[in-house]
Chain A
């Protein structure tokens, strides 16, 4: 360990040489090299964390530069991972840098995370956030969570010392229509810098075993009035018992999945295309519905992957459920298995279908 390099922090009574040694022996994985990931990486690298891993597959775009301050104009179009590696290397040659040239997926998450001590969730989407949570719970790794919305930042440490997880606060991922995940919501450049720096600080506190780690609390920072709110929340013990990942983490996104309104589907029904309608509600719900769509085949979502024999080849597939959420999941489950079939989810499900029928019958009166 280079004594002079870290003297300004080793001379801190509550950090000391012991704190520095703890950092140098530790490994930290940063998921996402973007607005949050960059300040996390820059500080942990500068402060002497022994091994830093990075998971990222994006390229550097012009619109990244207002907040991703590691990158320069000459880096546009290059791989974030490679540019970050080169720059971090130049800043501290003592750090072992590991690059994972991929996005975090259901297939690679456990393998990638397994070798690190602490994980930093610096991702920008719900699918990855729930995946990071579940993988960390399974592998018993603490993870430092940061997330942004406009001028606001959220911070917490999950799965630390038996404390709560992300799912203790937010049990289920939001559906695609409730929170704009794919419509870039906008972020003021400096906000991820602040929240990412707070995440780096939590990592250091965990590794050096100093201070009070932010677990069991959610910190909400509002940049517009410089306010910090801390919310206490308890662990739900069941959430710590997870032993496997979910079947799918694909949260239906607004761009990749096709949806159709109930009114348009009515027109499809009268048209000449070959189509099949699959109602993915469970059998009980379907049987108790006094008025299901008569042409629908009922295959509950949970049985969809094992009952693919009921799916007609060369037909356009339409999926319906009660509110339009499970039908989107159906597409993400079957999409790769049936690449030849066009698939649509009926927006708003049977709820919308009924209102559409009512409107249609009123206009006939």
Chain B
């Protein structure tokens, strides 16, 4: 499973993409499960009060089912101007 990272999430993870190995991603079946997995792995992600997650380029609520082949994106708000 590939997760694209934007804004501060890129800085937190330290890379623009995150690849989850099959043994990690097989237990992740919904956006909510992905969210809690990522927060466990990168506690600073847990501090983001608004963090949108997109699956295959569409905003995905927590109950959205995800599979190995989906393209996920983490989108936090950004403030600079």
Contact with B along A180-192 (1 / 0, CB 8 A): 1100010100001
Contact of A232 with B81 in the complex, beta carbons under 8 Å: no
Binding site for B on A (CB under 8 A): 32, 34-37, 122-126, 129, 146-150, 152, 154, 169-175, 177-181, 185, 187, 192, 218, 220, 222, 229-234, 325
Chain B residues within 8 Å of chain A by Cβ, number: 25
Which of A37, A152, A230 is within 8 Å of B81, CB to CB? A37
Contact with A along B27-61 (1 / 0, CB 8 A): 00000000000000000100111101010011100
Binding site for A on B (CB under 8 A): 4, 6-8, 10-11, 16, 44, 47-50, 52, 54, 57-59, 73, 75-81
Contact of A232 with B77 in the complex, beta carbons under 8 Å: no
Which of B47, B48, B49, B80 is within 8 Å of A187, CB to CB? B80
Which of B49, B52, B54, B77 is within 8 Å of A147, CB to CB? B77
User: Given the complex, which residues of A lie within 8 Å of B58, measured CB to CB?
Assistant: 231-233
Contact of A147 with B47 in the complex, beta carbons under 8 Å: no
Given contacts A122-B81, A147-B77, A180-B8, contact A233 B59 (CB under 8 A): yes
Task: Tell me, in angstroms, the Cα distance from A179 to B8 when the chains sit together.
Answer: 7
Given contacts A152-B6, A231-B54, A232-B57, contact A126 B81 (CB under 8 A): no
User: Given the complex, which residues of A lie within 8 Å of B73, measured CB to CB?
Assistant: 229, 231
Contact of B7 with A152 in the complex, beta carbons under 8 Å: yes
Q: Can you give 13 contacting A-B residue pairs, CB < 8 Å?
A: A124-B80, A126-B79, A129-B79, A170-B52, A172-B49, A174-B50, A177-B47, A178-B44, A179-B7, A179-B8, A179-B77, A181-B79, A231-B75
Q: Which residue of A lies closest to B54 (CB)?
A: A231
In whole Å, how far is B77's beta carbon from the nearest beta carbon of chain A? Answer: 4
Given contacts A125-B79, A129-B79, A234-B59, contact A220 B50 (CB under 8 A): no
Q: Which 6 A-B pairs have the closest CB atoms?
A: A233-B59, A148-B80, A124-B81, A149-B78, A170-B50, A178-B47
In whole Å, how far is B56's beta carbon from the nearest beta carbon of chain A? Answer: 10
Task: Tell me, in angstroms, the Cα distance from A146 to B49 when the chains sit together.
Answer: 20
Which of B16, B59, B75, B79 is within 8 Å of A179, CB to CB? B79
Contact of A179 with B6 in the complex, beta carbons under 8 Å: no
| Most A-side CB within 10 Å, residue of B73, B79, B80 | B80
Which of B50, B59, B78, B81 is within 8 Å of A231, CB to CB? B59
Contact of B48 with A178 in the complex, beta carbons under 8 Å: yes
Contact of B57 with A229 in the complex, beta carbons under 8 Å: yes
Contact of A34 with B50 in the complex, beta carbons under 8 Å: no
Task: Tell me, in angstroms, the Cα distance from A123 to B80 when the chains sit together.
Answer: 7
Contact of A220 with B52 in the complex, beta carbons under 8 Å: no
In whole Å, how far is B60's beta carbon from the nearest beta carbon of chain A? Answer: 9
Task: Tell me, in angstroms, the Cα distance from A187 to B78 when the chains sit together.
Answer: 12
In whole Å, how far is B10's beta carbon from the nearest beta carbon of chain A? Answer: 8
User: Given the complex, which residues of A lie within 8 Å of B4, measured CB to CB?
Assistant: 229
Contact of B75 with A218 in the complex, beta carbons under 8 Å: yes
Contact of A179 with B48 in the complex, beta carbons under 8 Å: yes
In whole Å, how far is B1's beta carbon from the nearest beta carbon of chain A? Answer: 17
Q: Which residue of A lies closest to B77 (CB)?
A: A170
Task: Tell me, in angstroms, the Cα distance from A125 to B77 when the chains sit together.
Answer: 11
Which of A169, A179, A192, A230 is within 8 Å of B52, CB to CB? A169
Contact of B81 with A149 in the complex, beta carbons under 8 Å: no
Task: Tell me, in angstroms, the Cα distance from A179 to B73 when the chains sit together.
Answer: 18
User: Given the complex, which residues of B lie within 8 Å of A32, measured CB to CB?
Assistant: 81
User: Given the complex, which residues of B lie within 8 Å of A234, measured CB to CB?
Assistant: 59
Task: Tell me, in angstroms, the Cα distance from A37 to B80 when the chains sit together.
Answer: 12
Q: Which residue of A lies closest to B59 (CB)?
A: A233
Contact of B78 with A147 in the complex, beta carbons under 8 Å: yes
Task: Tell me, in angstroms, the Cα distance from A180 to B77 when the chains sit together.
Answer: 11
Task: Tell me, in angstroms, the Cα distance from A129 to B79 when the chains sit together.
Answer: 8
Given contacts A169-B52, A179-B8, contact A174 B77 (CB under 8 A): yes
Task: Tell me, in angstroms, the Cα distance from A123 to B11 when the chains sit together.
Answer: 22
